């Protein structure tokens, strides 16, 4: 059996590809000769040492190597591609829309849209339903258990969700192909859910169906958990699935959990796959201003809408600054990008190597990396104002105006720190407008007893989520996943992707997945979807996925199951 060893080298794998690029100037060689030094005794400024971002070997199954080779060869055929396209297309054609504020299952009729999809899975994957135990949780949550032969091995848990965001009626006619057509144009599969996340659910089931067709029987138990309302925070789906799994398997029962998340794309001249080892927290803060009403012909200097606008601008002008901190997931990513990206700026390569010992170098890395808005958002608590409401008539002073600020909380912060920061920033400006302030249920400043009394400011935050625990990028589960990613890309595209080198870097999700409910089930929760993030769309008009990228998902899940089955130290 393959064993994930502490050295990071994985048996059953090809030799690690070299990550060293020595460029020794002739003058330096001459100096070495003069002082009788070997060139490798010198620390070169442009040495991209792999110790900053160690890379795994490509991990292929050993005991089941012949089976893996047979299946990956099958995945490369046109016949299999069309089979995969047909499966995903059929799933996309079944609308499973999730709306905010849906009532309990059994009471809200909109949940019934799940019935045709669940029924479809039974006929689409006959071997899965004949060989795996299926438990339904809260009617539409699906737990499949593929029992392994060795109960001493911790099972792995593969997650996904089959609900989708609604298609806005006003944009329905803007789709190139209808949103629920599942149309295949020879390259892309079109439709809502083709990426998020029916490709994940169908990819998992296709991988297992394929293994069953080859009579594979697992040594390590494999559990699947499919939610049905992830797009509305999983309050009915994952929130019910996680307790059911905890009761059945126990705390920290799973060797690793894999859910949707980052994929792979090109950066700095290389392909980087970025499994999420962390996930930001979440809190919505409501800012409500109330002022006396009246006829708009006799207005005060500032209406409630005007005051709210000033508060919003003040909050935006005092946003949390982005900071690249050592020993955080974004810093690990920065090290990988700077170390292995062939087109990374020379100054970035130098900065990430020196960052641990030099604050100046860390700031230089910040300066370069923060030119990318997406990377900048990783290292700060974000605070977009996404909802605003106020006023009822053009000639009536608005008595109430409300804005909702959506915070995604960085791993170095917390809900309490975020709420406190908002309160403190807005307090001084509230005093300027003579507003009494109630923050999160506590009256901070009482109403003024004067004719200049303007109104009230109320801050509220009904529900939040702390940043997720950070999984170790040096632990066996992450190394196994990394080696599996490399093997899967090799099997799908050859030794490289578009003639570029492939690397794995720890990543972090800026959004929240169903794993928010699963923290007690494993210390190794990793978020990775294995699709090309540089192509395709999700959550918008013309959501689509390349067919070969979807086949790659099936290859990845197949490889992951086989590799995990042989690993003895997970």
pLDDT in tens, 273-325: 999 999 999 999 999 999 998 999 999 989 999 999 999 999 999 999 999 99
CB atoms under 10 Å from CB of 332, counted, come to: 22
Give me the pLDDT at residue 547, please.
95
Give me the pLDDT at residue 38, please.
35
pLDDT in tens, 165-182: 999 898 999 999 999 999
d(CA 449, CA 432): 15
Question: Fold for domain 281-320+381-465?
Answer: Alpha-Beta Plaits (3.30.70)
Give me the pLDDT at residue 382, please.
97
CA distances to 183, 438, 510 from 461, rounded to whole Å, are 42, 12, 20
d(CA 110, CA 427): 43
**CA angle (142 as vertex; 140, 144 as ends), nearest 5:** 160
Q: Is 163 one of the annotated active-site residues of the chain?
A: yes
Give me the pLDDT at residue 10, please.
37
List CB contacts of 151: < 8 A, sequence separation 6 or more.
221
d(CA 361, CA 466): 31
Q: Is 364 one of the annotated active-site residues of the chain?
A: no
d(CA 454, CA 436): 9
State yes or no: 530 annotated in a binding site: no
Domain edges within the chain: 65-276+510-566, 281-320+381-465
Which pair of tokens denotes residue 33?
């000769």
Q: In terms of CATH, what superfamily is 65-276+510-566?
A: Zn peptidases (3.40.630.10)
> Which is catalytic among the residues 230, 332, 490, 565?
230
What DSSP string runs through 464-507?
Answer: EEPPPPPPPSSSHHHHHHHHHHHHHHHHHHSSSBTTB-EEE--E
CA 292 to chain centre: 45
Of 303, 306, 282, the closest CA to residue 294 belongs to 303
- Phi and psi at 393, nearest 5°, equal -160, 150
Of 284, 288, 262, 261, the closest CA to residue 273 belongs to 262
State yes or no: 539 annotated in a binding site: yes
State yes or no: 231 annotated in a binding site: yes
pTM of this prediction exceeds 0.85? yes
Q: Are 304 and 291 in contact (CB under 8 A)?
A: yes
Q: Are 335 and 53 in contact (CB under 8 A)?
A: yes
Residue written as tokens 């297992």?
208
State yes or no: 236 annotated in a binding site: no
> Which is catalytic among the residues 163, 260, 366, 543?
163
Q: What is the mean pLDDT of each run of 10 residues along the chain (570 residues)?
A: 38 39 39 37 36 92 97 97 98 97 97 98 98 98 98 98 94 94 96 96 98 98 98 97 98 98 92 96 97 91 95 96 95 96 96 96 97 94 96 94 97 96 95 93 81 82 94 97 96 70 92 96 97 72 94 97 94
Q: Which residues pair with 443 in a beta bridge?
A: 438
Give me the pLDDT at residue 540, please.
87
């Amino acid at each position: 059996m393959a064993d994930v060893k502490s050295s990071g080298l994985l048996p059953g794998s090809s030799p690690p590809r070299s990550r060293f690029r020595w460029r020794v100037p002739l003058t330096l060689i001459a100096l070495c000769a003069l002082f009788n030094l070997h060139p490798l005794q010198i620390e070169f400024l442009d040495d991209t040492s792999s110790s900053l971002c160690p890379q795994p070997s490509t991990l292929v199954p050993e005991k089941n190597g012949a089976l893996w080779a047979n299946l990956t060869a099958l995945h490369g055929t046109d016949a299999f591609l069309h089979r995969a396209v047909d499966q995903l297309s059929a799933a996309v054609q079944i609308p499973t829309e999730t709306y905010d504020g849906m009532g309990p299952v059994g009471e809200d009729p909109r949940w019934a849209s799940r019935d045709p999809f669940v029924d479809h899975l039974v006929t689409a994957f006959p071997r899965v339903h004949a060989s795996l135990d299926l438990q339904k949780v809260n009617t539409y949550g699906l737990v499949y258990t593929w029992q392994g032969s060795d109960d001493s091995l911790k099972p792995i848990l593969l997650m996904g969700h089959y609900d989708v965001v609604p298609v806005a009626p006003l944009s329905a006619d803007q789709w190139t192909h209808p949103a629920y057509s599942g149309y295949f144009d020879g390259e892309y599969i079109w439709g809502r859910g083709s990426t998020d996340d029916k490709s994940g659910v169908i990819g998992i089931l296709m991988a297992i169906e394929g293994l069953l067709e080859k009579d594979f029987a697992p040594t390590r138990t494999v559990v699947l958990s499919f939610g049905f309302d992830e797009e509305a925070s999983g309050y009915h789906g994952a929130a019910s699935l996680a307790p059911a799994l905890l009761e059945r398997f126990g705390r920290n029962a799973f060797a690793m959990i894999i859910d949707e998340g980052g994929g792979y794309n090109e950066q700095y001249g290389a392909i980087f796959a970025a499994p999420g080892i962390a996930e930001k927290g979440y809190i919505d803060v409501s800012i409500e201003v109330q002022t006396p009403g009246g006829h708009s012909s006799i207005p005060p200097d500032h209406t409630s809408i005007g005051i709210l606008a000033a508060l919003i601008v003040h909050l935006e002008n005092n946003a949390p600054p982005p900071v690249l901190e050592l020993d955080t997931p974004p810093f690990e990513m920065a090290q990988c990008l700077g170390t292995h990206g062939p087109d990374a700026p020379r100054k970035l390569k130098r900065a990430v190597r020196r960052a641990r010992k030099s604050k100046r170098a860390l700031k230089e890395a910040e300066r370069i990396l923060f030119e990318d808005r997406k990377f900048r958002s990783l290292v700060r608590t974000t605070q977009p104002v996404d909802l605003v409401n106020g006023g009822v008539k053009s000639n009536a002073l608005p008595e109430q105006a409300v804005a909702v600020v959506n915070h995604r909380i960085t791993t170095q912060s917390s809900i309490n720190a975020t709420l406190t920061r908002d309160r403190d920033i807005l307090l001084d400006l509230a005093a300027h407008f003579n507003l009494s302030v109630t923050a999160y249920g506590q009256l901070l400043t009482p109403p003024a007893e004067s004719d200049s009394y303007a109104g009230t400011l109320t801050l509220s935050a009904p529900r939040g989520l702390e940043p997720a625990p950070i999984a170790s990028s040096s632990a066996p589960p992450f190394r196994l996943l990394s080696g599996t990613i490399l093997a899967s890309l090799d099997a799908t595209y050859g030794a490289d992707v578009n003639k570029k080198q492939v690397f794995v870097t720890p990543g972090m999700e800026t959004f929240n997945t169903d794993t928010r409910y699963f923290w007690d089930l494993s210390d190794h929760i990793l978020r990775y979807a294995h699709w090309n993030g540089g192509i395709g769309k999700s959550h918008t008009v013309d959501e689509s996925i390349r067919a070969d990228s979807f086949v790659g998902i099936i290859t990845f899940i197949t490889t992951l199951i086989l590799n995990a089955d042989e690993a003895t130290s997970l």
